[in-house]
């Protein structure tokens, strides 16, 4: 029997194949457009990197604060543990003294059974019983009173040390978290910079260098002798900071070869014989707050609403500061950042 199936038209088959191919190409093109957005240009990368640097510095200053608290707690705990150890020795001596009294009393035939209670494995049970104390001699009462006082002191010191150890544990966890947050932001910034071509990175570096030299020219125009009413130690701190121009910026660094912003301020004032705290948040309360019009060389200048950045005023509208990993320690116009207030140490 003859087949009635119609033969397939070659032209129609080719149209179907071409249509499917075109649709696939459109789909692939659309997918590629979503998966591979336009690469950010040099200026966009710079803006994003600067934002990441600010976020990293916020985490860094919180890291610095946690580190300072950790060091303080460690010192306090060490002192308390030393006090507890010495107190325990004193308590043992007092108990030995009381035991000697009891021995002497026993040999004399007048050993009081109540003293035996104090020398038992759990003498604390009886120390607060007035009826028992009334049965003892004056010297014994005095010795037991000292034991009581020493036991209470030791209990308080041990409780305080226990609380500080818990605080220390929490502080160490915060320290680790803030350090990781800062490192993550810096790594993200570096990854963005790595997307630039070698030529773009050179251009960015040249732009930063030109801006830095212009600001340095303004800062270096500051008179060698500060105004008569300027702080001598502020001028000395600024002079010390100038010796670190070009030094690297490293989160958490306090010098002498690398710094973060508050680390540079602390180091510079230390060279001037002045001790200041470690973070921007505490440095903001170190001295007298002043307005922009009152600034003199060496005064601290704070930036951003949360005060996460600080520098030293260098005169002529410039600050000398540990800027960021790209710029290091350099001069910069204070108009480049949102100025908040100055502080005179």
Catalytic residues: 261, 309, 321
In what order do the strands lie in the sheet containing 329-333?
A: 288-290, 339-344, 300-303, 309-315, 318-322, 329-333
Q: Is 189 exposed, middle or buried (0-12, 13-18, 19+ CB in 10 A)?
A: buried
- Residue 276, classed as helix, strand or coil, is coil
Distance CA 231, CA 274 (A): 12
DSSP label at residue 336: G
Question: 217 with 29: CB under 8 angstroms?
Answer: no
- Among 269, 260, 201, 245, smallest CA distance to 57 is for 260
Angle between helical axes of 232-242 and 261-271 (0-180°, round to 10): 120
CA 281 to chain centre: 10
Q: Give every CB contact of residue 279 below 8 A, 6+ residues apart in sequence.
A: 61, 62, 64, 65, 68, 262
Question: 345 with 231: CB under 8 angstroms?
Answer: yes
Distance CA 154, CA 87 (A): 7
- Residue 289, classed as helix, strand or coil, is strand
- 286-289: list long-range contacts, CB under 8 Å, 24+ apart: 286/343, 286/345, 287/343, 287/344, 287/345, 288/343, 288/344, 289/341, 289/342, 289/343
């Amino acid at each position: 029997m003859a087949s009635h199936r119609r033969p397939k038209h070659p032209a129609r088959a080719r149209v179907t194949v071409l249509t499917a191919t075109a649709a696939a190409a459109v789909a692939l093109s659309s997918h590629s457009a979503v998966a591979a957005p336009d690469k950010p240009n040099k200026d966009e990368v710079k803006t994003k990197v600067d934002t990441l640097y600010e976020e990293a510095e916020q985490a860094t200053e919180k890291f610095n604060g946690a580190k300072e608290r950790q060091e303080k707690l460690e010192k306090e705990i060490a002192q308390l543990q030393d006090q507890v150890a010495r107190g325990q020795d004193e308590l043992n001596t007092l108990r030995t003294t009381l035991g000697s009294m009891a021995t002497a009393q026993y040999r004399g035939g007048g050993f009081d059974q109540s003293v035996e209670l104090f020398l038992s494995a759990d003498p604390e049970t009886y120390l607060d019983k007035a009826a028992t104390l009334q049965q003892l001699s004056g010297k014994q009462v005095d010795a037991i009173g000292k034991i009581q006082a020493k036991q209470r002191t030791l209990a308080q010191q041990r409780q305080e040390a226990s609380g500080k150890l818990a605080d220390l544990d929490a502080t160490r966890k915060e320290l680790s978290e803030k350090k990781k947050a800062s490192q993550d932001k810096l790594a993200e910034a570096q990854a963005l910079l790595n997307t630039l071509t070698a030529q773009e990175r050179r251009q960015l570096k040249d732009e930063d260098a030109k801006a830095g030299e212009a600001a340095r020219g303004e800062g270096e125009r500051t008179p060698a002798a500060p105004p008569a009413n300027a702080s001598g130690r502020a001028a000395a701190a600024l002079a010390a900071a100038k010796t670190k121009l070009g030094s690297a910026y490293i989160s958490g660094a306090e010098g002498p070869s690398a710094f973060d912003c508050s680390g540079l301020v602390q180091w510079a004032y230390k060279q001037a014989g002045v001790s200041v705290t470690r973070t921007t948040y505490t440095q903001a309360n170190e001295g007298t707050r002043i307005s922009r019009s009152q600034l003199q060389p060496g005064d601290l200048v704070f930036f951003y609403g949360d005060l996460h950045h600080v520098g030293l005023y260098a005169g002529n509208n410039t600050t000398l500061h540990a800027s960021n990993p790209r710029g290091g320690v350099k001069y910069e116009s204070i108009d480049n950042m949102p100025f908040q207030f100055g502080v005179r140490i």
